[in-house]
Chain A
Amino acid sequence: MSLLPYLVAGWLLLIGCFGVVRSRGLVHTVVCVAVAQSGTYVLLLSIGFQYGASAPVQGAPGPVVDPVMQALTLTDIVVSATVTALLLALVIQIAKRTGTVDPDQLDELRG
């Protein structure tokens, strides 16, 4: 098993966090959260992957990749879609109410 997919997964997770910290716009923040979550897709898929194996469907010839991990990744994608949509909806409301999406100018909540 190659090490590359694990490094990619770790890189995506960390660069997503870094993006959230450095973000200058809330849409960018949401996208960075989604990037961090992509790291978990890559990790889960690469854990289940085998070279030369086919998709885990009934009657597939030869070895198949781990179906558990594929199911987990699908669940993860559903979760991601929900969270991203909800966060983007909140960004739209923030932009409507305050006229800005720059986190530095949102100072309603202090102390």
Chain B
Amino acid sequence: MTVDPSCLPPLGIAIPLAGACVLLALAKFAPRVVVDTVAMTTAVVSVAAMALLVAATSSGRVVTWVGGWTPKDGSGVGIVLAADEIGAGFALLACALTACALIYTWRYFDDAEAHVHVLILLFLAGMVGFSLTADLFDLFVFLELMSATAYALTGHKIEEPRSVQGGFTFGVVTSLGAYFSLTGIGILYARTGRLGMPQIGAALDGHGLDPLVLAALVLVLTGLLVKAAIVPFHFWLADAHAVAPTPVCVLFSGVMAPLGLYGVLRVSTTVFGGVLPAASLHGTLVVLGIATAALGATLCLMQRHLKRMLAYSTIAHLGLFLIGLATLTASGVAGAVLYVFGHAGVKGALFLMVGVLLARKGSVDEFDLHCQGRDARLTKWLLPLGALALAGLPPFGTGLGKAISEESSGLTALFVLVSAATGGAVLRASLRIHFGLGPPPQDTDSDTTTGDDEKQEGRFPQRLPATMVVAITVLLTGGLLVGVVPAVADALGAGRSASWTEPGCWPRPCTAPRPRRSAASTWSGRGRASRWGLAQRPPEGRRVANWAITYPSHRGP
């Protein structure tokens, strides 16, 4: 059976939306098990569709003009979805993490109605759309769809004062950021008369970098960096992660925040790649990344609330991802993307294990739980392992990603220190809780959020439900596979510059020389593709011809 790959990107958005509608219709009278099954089926079908899409992108970019509104005679008003290896990879990551979160949810919430499942599926639709869109305004719409469902999920435990406060902070900060992005998008449309990203890029090549375009760049990137929790807009992430239901934290940490960075990459290369001096962009982003990584690692060490500790570790890692992406070289970008994938698996598993602690002991406080976890059988060993993987232990995906990123960015010391600090903080907590090592900590600091009055989620004091074990194992294995299986790295465009399996073949930066490109073949140009980490792709075929057509200006005289 062959599937036309161009139908897959819209399906990735439509399947979760359809599943959410079905669930909403069933919610009134269907029993819980039906709700879970429908949600799970939807997620699994999405994973399959996105896996097919990733396979299809290995032979070239998949471009879909939604609704058949292809441009005619060089002009058109259609909306375009474009999937390349990195975008499709992010969509697949979102679907896979959602499936894991849904397996975990199966026995996690006692009282969950279908709302959680519906919101998670809508959230998935937003994330897939964000990964695949090639239209700047759609980027904003999917950003807002993703954000609005995320606020609702964060504030899901509406009886909890902390939960609603965290959701509110999250909502105000990221909404304001998104409006700045929209202002920038408006300015770009005013300047070029186009909304498609490669079309704007082609038009800007002719204009050059004037102050207005620079302002637009800053505004668009602001919203995306807020979403990615880059300093000084990092504070919402810790609040939101500390209070959101645990399965949702997996999605927030694993894919939602990194998607902000993906947006930065896409906008700064596809839209502004032709006009922006690469060195100045690199300098700015690296400074932001270093500040974020240092701050996140420091604050991570100071936490006692386990979810906040993991959240600050996510902030630190987001800083490292940004440093990797900012190199804008094939190996740097590929390394950062691999790092994101490995981190998603490891961090997701860590969050779920903290969720197990919360369900069994009714607390996520490091001091309060001292010696309390001696009786845990599985998490006793997996939590320290996850902490080591977070610090970049080979052969986990985090290790491979960190190695490639630090090699291509040249900031080895920072990468080692930051990942060791965040892994060390989690290891400290896990050894205290499960093995009772060290003296009982003194509770003297009143300015830190404690974790002992979190609401217990789910109750199963005796045995860990099999569904939770499956979810934790799948995530950790996923984090491992990203590092071990060369095909995964290869599919993400990293295999050409690095292979884990060949001893002595550590990655080295390989910037392909940038060929001249014509304005009409903007995004398909091999020059830009090389900077996306996809340097050695075969020349693309017929689809490119449709794709590369630019809109004429809509502006009247």
- Which of A80-111 touch B at CB < 8 Å? 82-83, 86-87, 90-91, 93-94, 97-98, 106, 108-111
Contact between chains at B161 and A94 (CB < 8 Å): yes
The answer to the question of A15 belonging to the interface, with a C-beta cut-off of 8 Å to chain B, is no
Stretch among B180-188, B382-390, B410-418, B431-439 lining the A interface = B180-188
Which of B54-62, B171-179, B477-485 forms contacts with chain A? Answer: B171-179
Chain A residue, CB-CB nearest to B166: A109
Chain A residues with CB under 8 Å of B272's CB are: none
Residues of A close to B189: CB separation below 8 A: 47, 68-69
Q: Residues of B within 8 Å of A, CB-based: how many?
A: 47
A109 with B167, Cβ < 8 A, contacts A68-B554, A87-B151 known: no
Contact A37 B179 (CB under 8 A): yes
Q: Output the nearest chain B residue to A109 by Cβ-Cβ distance.
A: B239
Cβ B176 vs Cβ A36 within 8 A: yes
With CB as the reference atom, state the residue of chain B lying closest to A37: B179
B20 to chain A, nearest CB (A): 15
Partner of A109 from the list B155, B158, B190, B243 (CB cut-off 8 Å) is: B243
Q: What residues of B have a CB within 8 angstroms of the CB of A20 in the complex?
A: 172, 176
Which residues from chain A contact B520 at a C-beta distance below 8 Å? none
Which of A16, A47, A109: most chain B Cβ within 10 A? Answer: A109
Shortest Cβ-Cβ A-B pairs, 3 listed = A111-B448, A97-B161, A93-B164
List 5 additional A-B contacts (Cβ < 8 Å) besides A68-B77, A82-B148, A111-B448.
A13-B180, A39-B183, A43-B183, A75-B137, A109-B166
A83 CA to B189 CA, complexed, in Å: 24
**CB-contacts of A45-91 with B (<8 A):** 47, 50, 53, 63, 66, 68-69, 72, 75-76, 79, 82-83, 86-87, 90-91
Contact of B190 (CB < 8 Å), options: A37, A47, A63, A93: A47
> Do A40 and B159 have beta carbons less than 8 Å apart?
no
Is A86's CB under 8 angstroms from B158's CB?
no
Question: Known contacts being A36-B176, A69-B189, A111-B448, is A76 close to B165, with CB within 8 Å?
Answer: no
User: Is B428 close to A, CB under 8 A?
Assistant: no
A79: chain B residues within 8 A (beta carbon): 141, 144, 148
**Within 8 Å of chain A (Cβ to Cβ): is B195?**
yes
- CB-CB < 8 A to A72: which residues of B? 137, 186
Point out the residues of chain A lying under 8 angstroms from B195, CB to CB. Answer: 68
Taking a contact as CB atoms closer than 8 A, the residue among A33, A40, A82 that contacts B172 in the complex is A33
Most buried by B among A9, A66, A90, A93: A90
A97 x B179 contact (CB < 8 A): no
B161 touching A87, Cβ below 8 Å: no
User: When A86-B152, A110-B449 are in contact, do A13 and B179 touch as well, CB less than 8 Å?
Assistant: yes
Return the chain A residue nearest B239 by Cβ.
Answer: A109
Interface contacts (Cβ under 8 Å), in number, total: 115
Query: Is B171 a contact of A86 with CB atoms below 8 Å?
Result: yes
Cα of A9 to Cα of B176 in the assembled complex, Å: 14
Interface residues of A in 4-60 (CB under 8 A from B): 9, 13, 16-17, 20, 26, 29-30, 33, 36-37, 39-40, 43-44, 47, 50, 53
Q: Does B162 contact A (CB under 8 A)?
A: yes
- Please give the distance in Å from A95's CB to the nearest CB on chain B: 9
Are B190 and A40 in contact, CB atoms less than 8 angstroms apart? no
Chain B residues within 8 Å of A109, by CB = 162, 165-166, 169, 238-239, 242-243, 449
Q: Is the CB of B168 within 8 A of A91?
A: yes
Give the CA-CA distance A20 to B443 in the complex, in Å. 35
Q: Can you sample 24 A-B contacts with CB below 8 Å?
A: A13-B179, A13-B180, A16-B176, A29-B172, A36-B176, A37-B175, A37-B179, A69-B189, A82-B144, A83-B171, A87-B172, A90-B171, A93-B158, A97-B160, A97-B161, A98-B165, A106-B161, A108-B161, A108-B162, A109-B162, A109-B169, A109-B239, A111-B308, A111-B447
CA distance A7 to B390 in the complex (A): 48
Give the distance to chain A from B181, nearest Cβ to Cβ, in Å: 9
Interface centre among B165, B187, B303 (most CB of A within 10 A): B165
> Does B556 sit at the interface, judged by CB under 8 A?
yes
Residue from A26, A44, A106 within 8 A of B186 (CB atoms): A44
B164 touches A94 (CB 8 A): yes
Question: Does B555 reach chain A (CB closer than 8 Å)?
Answer: yes
B538: shortest Cβ distance to chain A, in Å?
A: 35
Looking at B151, B160, B303, which has the most chain A CB atoms within 10 Å of its CB? B151
B25 within 8 A of A: no
Q: Closest B residue to A65 by CB, please name it.
A: B556
- Whole-angstrom CA separation of A14 from B165 in the bound complex: 24
B166: A residues at CB distance < 8 A: 109
Report how far A43 CA is from B302 CA in the complex, Å.
Answer: 44
The answer, among A36, A86, A94, for a CB contact under 8 Å with B151, is A86
Whether A13 pairs with B164 at a CB distance below 8 angstroms is: no
Residue of A nearest to B170 (CB): A90
> In the complex, which residues of chain B have a beta carbon less than 8 angstroms from the beta carbon of A36?
176, 179
CB distance from A108 to the nearest CB of B (A): 5
Q: Chain B: which residue is nearest A53 at the CB level?
A: B556
A10 → B minimal CB distance (Å): 8
Tell whether, in the assembled complex, residue B167 and residue A90 are in contact, meaning their CB atoms are under 8 Å apart: yes
| Cα A69 to Cα B186 with chains together (Å) | 9
